[in-house]
């Protein structure tokens, strides 16, 4: 689902974001996603559900999901696909940038696909009602 900024969201990420927003204190709001350079694969990120964008944020609607993105995040996410992955030991958003190579800090057998970064949702479990 491309947007004018080139950000894509998979069906799994769309479902996760919709649930985060729906069960938050701001069910008519959006997901504010702040991405900065850093981390093993090139991205460090934080997210929160907010009722409205902050000053300088752009509100992007992707398939009915509203993202609030600061300017730097919009630049870094251009051409990136946002996915949601869940394994037996972790769950979170994953950012896949086909234009970047995988990092070299793990053995080749364990290396992640090119430019894949994840944000764990473990720290926000108290916000999600199962």
Read off the pLDDT of residues 29-51 as tens digits, 9 standing for 90 and up: 999 999 888 765 567 789 999 99
Is 76 part of any domain? yes
Is 2 part of any domain? no
pLDDT at 12: 95
Largest interatomic CA distance in the chain: 44
Which domain covers residue 61, as residue numbers? 8-127
pLDDT digits (tens, 9 = 90+) for 83-119: 998 888 888 888 888 776 554 443 333 444 444 455 5
Is 18 part of any domain? yes
Number of independent structural domains in the chain: 1
At 59, give phi and psi (nearest 5°).
-95, 115
Give the separation between CA 26 and CA 42, rounded to whole angstroms. 30
Quote the pTM value: 0.71
Is 1 part of any domain? no
Q: Average pLDDT over the chain, rounded to whole? A: 77
pLDDT at 67: 95
Is 3 part of any domain? no
Whole-Å CA distances, 51 to 26, 33, 89: 5, 13, 31
**DSSP-assigned letter for residue 125:** G
Both structure tokens of 96: 């896949």
Element (H, E) at 35: strand 30-37
CATH of the domain at 37: 2.60.300.12
pLDDT at 92: 84
pLDDT digits (tens, 9 = 90+) for 5-32: 688 899 999 999 999 999 999 999 999 9
């Amino acid at each position: 689902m491309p947007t004018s900024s080139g950000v894509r969201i998979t069906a799994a990420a769309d479902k996760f974001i919709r649930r985060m927003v729906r069960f938050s204190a701001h069910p008519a709001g959006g997901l504010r996603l702040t991405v900065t350079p850093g981390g093993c694969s090139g991205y460090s990120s934080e997210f929160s559900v907010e009722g409205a964008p902050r000053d300088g944020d752009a509100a992007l609607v992707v398939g009915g999901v509203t993202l609030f993105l600061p300017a730097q995040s919009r630049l870094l996410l251009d051409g990136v696909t946002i996915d949601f992955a869940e394994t037996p030991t972790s769950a979170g958003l994953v950012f896949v940038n086909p234009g970047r190579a995988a990092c070299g800090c793990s053995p080749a057998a364990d290396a992640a696909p090119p430019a894949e970064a994840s944000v764990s949702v473990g720290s926000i479990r108290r916000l999600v009602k199962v």
